[in-house]
Amino acid sequence: MMWRIVSKIVVLSALLIVLVFAALNSTMVEINVLAQAVSVPLGVGLVAFFAMGSLAGALGLYLAVVLRLKRDLKRAQKARGPV
């Protein structure tokens, strides 16, 4: 129970820090994506690209772990033989 409260406090604190960071970096910047340009506040752009990078890294890590575990499971099933 205490762990849930602590984790909620940590998440809310991180969200507050992100919101303050985005608010303090309100200068508009232009981001060129493929053939289009998008104007966004600097803080929003940085937070968005950090989030996308984190998600890409988490996905890569997840896929590496899942594929390794599936390979290990197949090897274990082959070694055990038919049931």
Q: What is the pLDDT of residue 30?
A: 93
Residue 23 near residue 45 (C-beta atoms within 8 A): no
Q: What is the pLDDT of residue 60?
A: 93
CA distance 12 to 16: 6
CA distance 12 to 60: 26
Q: What is the pLDDT of residue 80?
A: 86
Mean pLDDT to the nearest integer, 75-82: 86
Residue 45, Cβ neighbours under 10 Å: how many? Answer: 19
Q: What is the pLDDT of residue 81?
A: 75
Residue identified by tokens 């060129």 is: 32
pLDDT in tens, 22-78: 888 889 999 898 889 999 999 888 888 999 999 999 999 989 998 899 999 999 999
Q: Phi and psi dihedrals of 61, rounded to 5? A: -65, -45
Q: The pTM is what?
A: 0.64
